[in-house]
Amino acid sequence: QVQLVESGGGLVQAGGSLRLSCTASPSTFNMETINWYRQAPGKQRELVAAVTSGGSTSNADSVKGRFTISRDNAKNRVYLQMNSLKPEDTAVYYCNTRYDEWTGSGYRNLYDYWGQGTQVTVSS
């Protein structure tokens, strides 16, 4: 059974920084693309950032220039460095990895794992 465990959330003042970590176990599990999502109360879950197995990254427009995603394959870990935090960044942040295999006629999901989430609260 694959598990994703997030850590690093907490309470911070606006303008501050936090670094979230996501660790996959067992260590033999090779993570493909890793996504960070967040969900604020009363809102839909949104994709914040992603990093591929090759290290290519992408960020949502709302966090560009403030958040940086990175990965350490040796530790099977992904990080989300969050700077210049704003109250609207307050949410539960989730780590996710999924893999869809091309079958020739469509995609078939092979796995879709989620962490338990870590709370980030930014005070004004």
Contact residues for 54 (Cβ-Cβ < 8 A; gap 6+):
none
Question: pLDDT for 18-59, tens place per residue?
Answer: 999 999 887 666 778 899 999 999 999 999 999 988 889 999
Q: Taking the CB of residue 75, how many other CB atoms lie within 10 A of it?
A: 12
What is the model's pLDDT at position 27?
67
Length of the chain: 124
Round to the nearest angstrom and report the end-to-end CA distance of the chain: 40
The percentage of residues in the chain with a pLDDT greater than 70, rounded to a whole number, is 97
